[in-house]
Homo-oligomer: A and B are copies of this chain.
Amino acid sequence: MNITLEQAEAVVDAAKQKAADIKTKMNICVVDSGSNLVAFIRNDGAWLGSVDIAIKKARTAVFFQMDTADLSPLVQPGKPLFNIEHSNGGLITFPGGVAIKDANGEVIGAIGVSGSSVEDDAEVAKAGAEAYR
C-alpha cells in the first residue's frame, strides 16, 4: 500500500491551511512508503534551508516507521542512536516528520514540514497527516 497523489495533495492542502492559520511560512512534503517524493510545496518567503529539511523529515519518518519527534530523545549524546543522522545521506531527527498509516496500521507514507519552530512544524505536520483517510 502506498499513498496516492490525490491523498498526498489532500494532506499538503490541510498542512498548508494550518500553516496559514498560525501565520507561518512552511516547506511541506509528502513521500510514499518507499520514501520517494509524491508532493511538495514551499510558501513564498519560506526558509530555503527548509526545503531539504522537510524532505529529510518525511523520509526519516518512513525509514523508521515513526514520527521524527519519537527519535529525538534517542539520538542525544550518550543515548542509543547518537549520530544516526550520518546514515541514509542525512536524516533529520527533530519534530516535524509524521508517519501516515492506513487502517491496518501500515505506514503508507509520511509528511515532513519545516520553516518555523519545531513546535509549529510538528503542529502543521500533524494537521496534514490527519487529513489522510
- Listed in ascending order, the chain A residues whose CB lies under 8 Å from chain B are 2, 4-5, 8-9, 32-44, 47-53, 56, 60, 62-65, 72, 75-78, 80-95, 117-118
How many copies the complex holds: the figure is: 4
Q: Looking at the complex, which one of B42, B76, B90 makes contact with A78 (CB distance below 8 Å)?
A: B76
Residues in B neighbouring A86, C-beta threshold 8 A? 56, 85-86, 90-92
The interface residues of chain B lying within 8 Å CB-to-CB of A92 are 83-84, 86-87
Kindly state the separation between the CA atoms of A33 and B34 in the bound complex, as whole angstroms.
8
A49–B82 touching, CB < 8 Å: no
Given contacts A34-B48, A42-B5, contact A94 B84 (CB under 8 A): yes
A120–B73 alpha-carbon span in the complex (Å): 19
A35 CB contacts on chain B under 8 angstroms: 34, 48
Bound-state CA distance A117–B83 (Å) is 15
Give bound CA distance, A34 to B35, whole Å: 8
A56 to B94, Cβ gap below 8 A?
no
Most buried by B among A37, A39, A63: A37
